[in-house]
Structure 1
Amino acid sequence: MSLSTHVLDTVAGRPAAGVKLELRRDGDVVDVATTDADGRHAFGDVGAGEFELVFAVGDYFGEREFLDRVPVRFRIAEANAKYHVPLLVSPWAYSTYRGS
């Protein structure tokens, strides 16, 4: 099972490069990363379990008018499946979904 993410800055209309990411499994931090120039990061094979991906959007936008950390909790259950967690974000709102 592979896990990846893609962060898009909806204010600037471009990928969000340099967003700090924290991947937690069952409450424990298992990886810390930063999005690349295209706003992407691939964690690779993480196995099955309960996960939380925390996006440091307040640091990215340089302000904390409303959002600071955006946690996305999800479960990986399917063997040999690809999980992609996109985040569309501004300083005031976000949305996510299971991508392909």
Structure 2
Amino acid sequence: TRAVPLLESLSVEHVVADKSYDGDRVLERIHAQGSQAVIPPQINRKVQRPYDRELYRERNRIARLKQCRRIVTRNDKTARNFLDFLHLAASMILFA
């Protein structure tokens, strides 16, 4: 899988991903680096392993921010303007 080489340079506490990354090789690599995998198991797994459901739900907030094209493409010229728009978009999502 292409995900395994991407994980080599990663040093984080949690790796949050969707069900498509629920492969044994990916999970082994994540655990070998000392990170916790927050990946829901696929339905066809014989043994359903536990995962942090609350932390996985937080993933949705980032996905909602990616709906704003201005954030994804980073069209703002200064970091301050980008951060200001990021705060505005986050507020709109929070109060929607």
TM range (shorter): under 0.3
Q: TM-score, normalised by structure 1?
A: 0.23
Indicate the structure with greater helix content: 2
Indicate the structure with greater strand content: 1
Work out which of the two has the higher radius of gyration on C-alpha atoms and give 1 or 2: 2
Q: TM-score, normalised by structure 2?
A: 0.24
Q: Which has the higher contact order (CA 8 A, sep 6+)?
A: 1
